[in-house]
Structure 1
């Protein structure tokens, strides 16, 4: 694939999209940064993109040969809007697509799992990234990060379950390789950090790095669901609490070498991220 092509980054102001756009432009690639408000992104051409407004898709796809796809957040049936867009993209000359999914959603599973299943039938060059939970959940605007800052606690229903938390910078690095390497991965890549950690482990590391005491407070599924239901729709709260319950049962207790295999360097540890993003704010 030519390095002179144009890459469309959907969700270019989000956690992974912003990093993908930044890493692509830093490497000299031409990027269209797509977001609902066409927000400026350094080094990229901002374009307006709304999953539910097909009129924005035509302009976004003009001249593009690669696309980083972040499905609409919170949509229980993203395939209904993403698949028509991907078919339109292929017809418009896009040759390679990299889809962001999640480690908890298998090919053919619910929601974005259906997009994952259809992707190889639309594009000859493709990749599906299935990252574990983001390390940035503890450093940004996520509920965990806020409760760490305000109360010194992390509330979950994960018990002692462990997660291969992954740095969003590593997810972006894999995405950039998947988009620009001569050969597309044509694979489903589960992305994790170098170790599986419990939320107790996370609390210990944050405490050591910041010097402020942080504790993991385990809740039952029902306690977490009811707590979250005060902040969001009930069915979404139940889904999130169920994901914690799944972690407690061991479904995310795994580590892969996908980051190293694709980028040539090891995945970053949570302690390294905490020292980078939390230490200076302590």
Structure 2
């Protein structure tokens, strides 16, 4: 066994923020299955079997101290929909460092480099705050088409996927695989101390996704191509305009080929290949999650 894959000997306790979310809940459950102690943090104190629930709100510093108590590592899910998460995340991380937290793993995005927008500022700061760290930079989630995301709602309600991504391809990744890498990053010895770009095994266009979903569900699903401006304005009816412009800009980057790539990160760190889209969508849409 290599140093990269050797599990840490200390059990430790992980504070999982966003424990009711797509990757937070999965990470908490996988840590518990591996025999690790977990504090499941959310605004409502998430109830996850085997985890200690704790109330936590990025926008309420008075919740920070209780959440950090008794933990030595963090899984960090940024506040949803905030285009400037560093404003609340960095004060929390400084308090965590002062409280003796040894390791932090941040969920970011393949589209956001260190120093970039949104989580990019937190990514850039993380190595200066913790000796043990990792930044997960997954591509777009497969669960965007099966869960509670706007794409999934549009599919269920109208059979439509709306993007400004054109025919650009994305190697969509299963949230279960993201969680598996998160567990590795939280528990491996030594810590990764790097950023990790996570993808599925194959880059697919949204037209490809629509065709696969039509085949899997037996219901026609169509990808409707929008312009950047149309996508921005559509999103701005649901989320803050600045965040809408950023997301529409990511679609435009996909159209230009920015996400047409695959990586071996999931295979290299977990010892198994990443799940494919057909496998994941079939599991979640026909067999339940």
Normalising by structure 1, report the TM-score.
Answer: 0.96
In 2, the alpha carbon distance for the partners of 1:8 and 1:231 equals: 30
Give 2:213's aligned residue. Answer: 206
Match of 2:149 among 132, 142, 154: 142
In 1, the alpha carbon distance for the partners of 2:260 and 2:15 equals: 33
More deviation in 237-246 or 119-128? 237-246
Shift of 1:164: 1.0
In 1, the alpha carbon distance for the partners of 2:83 and 2:281 equals: 33
Match of 1:50 among 57, 63, 67: 57
In 2, the alpha carbon distance for the partners of 1:221 and 1:53 equals: 35
In 2, the alpha carbon distance for the partners of 1:121 and 1:271 equals: 40
Q: Secondary structure at the match of 1:64?
A: coil
**Contact 1:164-1:252 within 8 A present in 2 as well:** yes
In 2, the alpha carbon distance for the partners of 1:223 and 1:70 equals: 29
* 1:1-282 paired onto structure 2 within 5 Å: 1-280=8-287
**Contact 1:3-1:29 within 8 A present in 2 as well:** no
In 1, the alpha carbon distance for the partners of 2:271 and 2:179 equals: 14
Q: Secondary structure at the match of 1:276?
A: helix
Assess, with a 3 A threshold, how the Cα gap between structure 1 residues 253 and 125 changes in structure 2: closer, same or farther: same
Assess, with a 3 A threshold, how the Cα gap between structure 1 residues 235 and 78 changes in structure 2: closer, same or farther: closer
> Over aligned residues, Cα RMSD in angstroms?
1.3
Q: Secondary structure at the match of 2:244?
A: helix
Could you report, residue by residue, the CA deviation over 1:96-123 in whole angstroms, capped at 9, with x for unpaired residues? 1101111111011122111111111111
Shift of 1:39: 2.4
Normalising by structure 2, report the TM-score.
Answer: 0.93
In 1, the alpha carbon distance for the partners of 2:149 and 2:100 equals: 37
> Structure 2 stretches of 5 or more lacking a match?
1-7
Q: Secondary structure at the match of 2:22?
A: coil
Could you report, residue by residue, the CA deviation over 1:37-65 in whole angstroms, capped at 9, with x for unpaired residues? 11211110000111122221111111111
Could you report, residue by residue, the CA deviation over 1:47-95 in whole angstroms, capped at 9, with x for unpaired residues? 0111122221111111111110112222222222212211221221211
Could you report, residue by residue, the CA deviation over 1:175-226 in whole angstroms, capped at 9, with x for unpaired residues? 0011011211111100000010000110111111111121211111222222
In 2, the alpha carbon distance for the partners of 1:36 and 1:119 equals: 24
Q: Secondary structure at the match of 1:16?
A: helix
In 1, the alpha carbon distance for the partners of 2:241 and 2:131 equals: 40
In 2, the alpha carbon distance for the partners of 1:81 and 1:59 equals: 17
Count of residue pairs brought into register by the alignment: 281
